[in-house]
Amino acid sequence: MSIENDPVLAEAARPVSVTDVPVIEPKPSGLRNLLEWVVIAGGALLVAFVIKTFLLQAFYIPSLSMAPTLKENDRVLVNKLSYDLHDVNRGDVVVFKSPPNEGSATKDLIKRVIGLPGETIEARDGHVVIDGKVLDEPYLDTDIETRGPVCHTPSLPGCVGSDKVVVPADTYFVMGDNRANSRDSRFVGAIPDDLIIGRAFVKVWPVTALGLL
């Protein structure tokens, strides 16, 4: 008997259309999606908290004290791990907590490291002299020089009159690149290392000025 003459075989051999197959409707997954987004958001917040607390943090520049290197309202990224891995180096641009005698409402400040612990800092003919050697400072404007004495407050630790400063142990002598408009170690003394938050290593804003410090 041929398949054409057997209705049972003919029906079994007939191609099945998807219209003949029952459709399985997906179950509502609103709660599951909500939980997934909560987990993702919570994880992202946790990662951001860890990064900001222990690794990197963005800071804005509140004044012109670091011009021309950094201008007011520029943004920089600060590496908080730098000084867990190596010593503070001369020339580093550092962010630190404002010392109690700074007298500013600004919580955090940014300056350049000029003198290291134990070094003698002087100002001669508009130049910084460290342990008898003139400091090369290519980051300064050619028309900006060190103005006035290195110790505007002779009562500060390490000051030898107003002519010299011997940087105390575990502190760093910092100055703004805009020497005529910077309240720095010349006024408030050397910065204790426990106030240093980290090293500013890259300028991220404005994007046209993106670059390493």
Q: Which residues belong to the active site?
A: 65, 111
Placement of tokens 């760093």 in the chain: 172
Q: Which residues pair with 110 in a beta bridge?
A: 95
Query: What does each C-alpha distance from 173 to 23, 42, 49 come to in angstroms?
Result: 76, 42, 31
H/E stretch holding 188: helix 185-188
As a whole number of angstroms, the distance between CA 62 and CA 65 comes to: 9
H/E stretch holding 83: helix 82-85
